Structure formats: C-alpha cells, structure tokens
Structure 1
Amino acid sequence: MDAETQSADEAQSADETQSADETARAANSRLVQDFGLLIKAATLMEQRIDGVLRRECGISHTMFEVLIRLCRQPGEEVSQRALADDLTLTSSGITRLVDRMETADLVRRVPSPEDRRSVLVEATEHGRTVFLRAAEAHGQVVGRYLVAPLAPADYRRLTTSLTEIHTALRDD
C-alpha cells in the first residue's frame, strides 16, 4: 500500500470514528434519555393498567377510555366521530371497538335525533357497572405507580408540568 492510499484510509477511519462519536453523543443526550424515560414509564403504566383491567373487569384500557368519555355526563350520548377524535383512533378503528363493546353489552348505538346519518354511542347499565369496577382497579394502579412513589409536592409539580406540556402540544 502506498503512502497516499494509507493516508486516505487513515483519514476515512478518523472520519468514521468522529461520526460514531457524534452519533453516540446524540443517542445519549439528556433530552433523548429524558424523553425515552417518559415513553418507557407511560408504556409500562399502560401495560399495567391494561393487564389489570383485562383480568379484573374483562375490558381493555381503550374500552375503559371509551367508558370514561361516555360516563362523564349522566345520559350523555357521544358520536363515534367524537370518540375517535378523543382516543386518536381512525374511523374504522372506533367502529370495530364499538362493535366489540356493543357485543359485550357495554355500549349501544342510537340514532342521532339531529342528524339521521350520524350514530351516537351511550353506555349501557352493564357498561356503567363495569366502568365503576374498572375505575376502582385503574385508580389502584395509578395510585401505586404514579402517586405513591412521589412526595405530594412532586406529584403536584408533575401533574402541573404534564398539563403545561399537553397545552403546548395542543395549542401548537
């Protein structure tokens, strides 16, 4: 190998080392690590909640989220479109979910009195009963893994910060 080829190979190797160092620094940056921790914690919490709700109540966490929305106001009926928007599901995704929930007698579809093309969804009596059990189970998991590990002031700061983050994302 001549000196010129060797010098070019050394320069390429140095560039590759520098590039690898830069990518490692980026992958290990505080912002990347902090966001990853947030996502991992949220994912683990979601998995815990979903597992408890499935075992104890026979519903998924997503079904629980639908029931929350339907049980906020007594007698409230919500359009499938609004449910899809609230849960960030596609139109076909909410249709399949409501189908499963209707089969399980958790919800029922009713025609909209204002728009014959629109269908509203409401919780059944059975759905409200399941929701109450699920809310208790959900609260226990959240209490154990989100509230209990933190001092009360830290928990308040966390929820205030999450509200501010949510507002910034929603308003942007």
Structure 2
Amino acid sequence: MNVVNQENAEAAARAANSPLVRDFGLLIKSATRLEQRIDIAVRRECGISHTMLEVLIRLCRQPGEQISQRHLADDLTLTSSGTTRLIDRMETSGLVRRLPSPEDRRVALVEPTEQGRAVFLEASHVHARVVQQHFVDPLDADAYARLVRALGEIDGALRDNAG
C-alpha cells in the first residue's frame, strides 16, 4: 500500500472508531435488539408484528379517533406504499377498518376494530413485559430517569430542528 493509501486507510479507521460513531452505533444496536425482542414476543404470543402493534398503539390513543393512512405513515416513518400494504394486511386480519373521510374522498381513515383493540390489549402486556425486562430493569432508577430525560431532550432538539 502506498503512503497516500495508508494515510487514507488510517484516517478512515480513526473515523470509523471515533467515540461519536461508537456511541451512536451503541444506541442503534440497542434499539434494534430491543425491537427484535419485542417483535419475536408479540409475534409468538399475539400473532402480530411489532409494526402492527405500533399502528394499533397509534390508533388506540384516543377512543373514537380515526387517523388517515398518511398520518400513520408519518408517525411510523413508513413509506405511503408500505403503510398501504401494512393496513391491507391488518384489515384482512380483522384488526382495522378503513373508512372514507367525510372531508376528502381521496383520504382513507383507519380505525381499530373490536378485535384489533382486544389484540392490542394482549400485545401491550407482552410489549410492557419485554420493555421492562430489557430496557428498564438493567438500569437503576436514577440511570433510567436520566436516560429517558436525555432521550426526550434529543427528540425535542431533533423536532425543533427538523428539515
């Protein structure tokens, strides 16, 4: 390897091993592993994916609320077509129903069915158990409070500086 390539290789290694890259990678790996644990448990015990649970969480926050597919896509950071396919599967499974918007006939509103609410209640217990075991229990109360506060501050800063 010539001198320039060696210097570039060393600079790349320093960048790849920087504390910022390492720390952010730890956050992403931890979140991904936790999400995988939730998904496995919810699929096994309730027959739905973690993404379906996320839809049901959003739909069950306000009784009687109907949410457009576009808002669901934004909330879940999914593409419009991905959200449509997900809602199609959930509708086929009897978890949600689509309704035409009274204000705009181009908009489909989504609401949970009774079956969807029942599955959500079951899945929410599984979700809570997994989150407690793998997110809350590994930390003492003070560390957990600091983590949640820090995550809230990061989220707020990202929201304030969106775009």
The normalised TM-score by structure 1 is: 0.89
Amino acid of the structure 1 residue aligned with 2:111: E
Per the alignment, residue 161 of structure 1 pairs with 150
Tell me how far apart the structure 2 counterparts of residues 120 and 84 of structure 1 sit (CA, whole Å): 12
Gaps of 5+ in 1: 1-11
Which residue in the other structure is 2:12 paired with?
23
CA deviations over 1:18-64 (Å, ceiling 9, x no partner): 33222221111111110111111011011101111111011111100
Other structure's SS at 2:98 match: strand
Instruction: Give the Cα separation in 2 of the matches to 1:151 and 1:17.
Output: 45
- Separation (CA, whole Å) in 2 of partners of 1:91 and 1:35: 28
Relative contact order (alpha carbons < 8 A, sep ≥ 6): 1 or 2 greater? 2
Aligned AA (1:38): L
Aligned residues between the structures? 161
Q: Deviations over 1:3-29 (max 9, x none)?
A: xxxxxxxxx733333332222211111
Deviations 1:114-140 (A, max 9, x none): 222221100000000000010000001
Q: Which runs of 4+ in 1 moved over 6 A?
A: none
Three-state SS of the structure 2 residue aligned to 1:108 is: strand
Correspondence for 2:68:
79
The answer to whether structure 1 residue 47 and structure 2 residue 36 are counterparts is yes
Name the counterpart of 2:130: 141
- Once the two structures are superposed, the pairs formed by residues 55-74 of structure 1 within 5 Å of their partners are 55-74=44-63
Residues 67-111 of structure 1: CA deviation (Å, up to 9, x unaligned)? 001100111111111111111111111111100000000000111
Identity value in percent: 65
Over the aligned positions, Cα root-mean-square deviation in angstroms equals 1.2
Per-residue Cα deviation, 1:139-162 (whole angstroms, up to 9, x for no partner): 011000100000101111101111
Matched residues in 2 for 1:33 and 1:80: separation?
A: 36
TM-score, normalised to structure 2, is 0.94
Which residue identity does 1:76 align to in structure 2?
A: E
Return the index of the structure with the highest Cα Rg.
Answer: 1
Mapped partners of 2:102, 2:5: distance in 1: 67
